Structure 1
Amino acid sequence: MATSIKIDDELKGRVRALASQRRRSPHWIMLEAIRQYVAREETHESFKREALESWRSYRETERHLTVQETNEWLESWGRGDKAPPGCHE
């Protein structure tokens, strides 16, 4: 899929300079920037979906862990086989 993008002269110069420094083409630099941006935004959207799902589940069940329970479990990592605590109301 061929796509074009219009960028101002200042940004175009910055892309060219960076491409030269990295011994890459300006096209490669722009494509890599877009790949990284899309991956970062997909991760952000996934995190938001998980958070909203967790909030929905809590509202329905009221099952949760306290901060203290979570911290105690996290501090035990690497010191035995302590299983994660179970959620409760």
Structure 2
Amino acid sequence: MAMTSVRMNDELMARLEAAAKKMRRSKAWLINDALDEYLAKEEREAKLLEETRLALTDVEAGRVVGGEEVMDWLESWGTEDEKEPPSL
């Protein structure tokens, strides 16, 4: 396991110490957990941004399916004549 040091202001340190005491966890555990959550969120947001960029490229190139076609398909779900999904 690697180690690093972090500088934090007194107020943040007090909050960290209080949370660690309340949760009966070490400060290191809380820092690791919080950082893991933060980085996972950043990764999800980066993926979403990339998917949005790709979608906009498709829209700009005209690779889209009309809303009416999609609604017809959705409305057929669970019926005897369930339609195939619309394609480009």
TM-score (norm 1): 0.75
Tell me, yes or no, if structure 1 residue 63 matches structure 2 residue 78: no
Query: Structure 2 unaligned runs (5+)?
Result: none
SS at match of 2:65: coil
SS at match of 2:30: helix
1:24-43 to 2 correspondence within 5 Å? 24-43=25-44
Instruction: Output one character per residue of 1:59-83: Cα deviation in whole Å (capped at 9) or x when no partner.
Output: 12x122345636x739x5xx46956
TM-score (norm 2): 0.76
Alpha-carbon separation, structure 2, partners of 1:30 and 1:83: 51
For the aligned residue pairs, the C-alpha RMSD in angstroms reads 2.8
The code of the aligned residue for 1:33 comes to: A
Question: Could you say which structure has the larger radius of gyration?
Answer: 2
Give the aligned partner of residue 52 of structure 1.
53
- Compared with structure 1, are the counterparts of its residues 18 and 87 closer, same or farther at alpha carbon in structure 2 (3 Å cutoff)? same
Alpha-carbon separation, structure 1, partners of 2:42 and 2:23: 25
The code of the aligned residue for 1:36 comes to: E
- Compared with structure 1, are the counterparts of its residues 19 and 57 closer, same or farther at alpha carbon in structure 2 (3 Å cutoff)? same
State the number of aligned residues: 85
Instruction: Give % identity.
Output: 24
Alpha-carbon separation, structure 2, partners of 1:27 and 1:84: 53
- Compared with structure 1, are the counterparts of its residues 86 and 33 closer, same or farther at alpha carbon in structure 2 (3 Å cutoff)? same
Query: Structure 1 unaligned runs (5+)?
Result: none
Conserved in 2, the CA contact under 8 Å of 1:63 and 1:87?
no
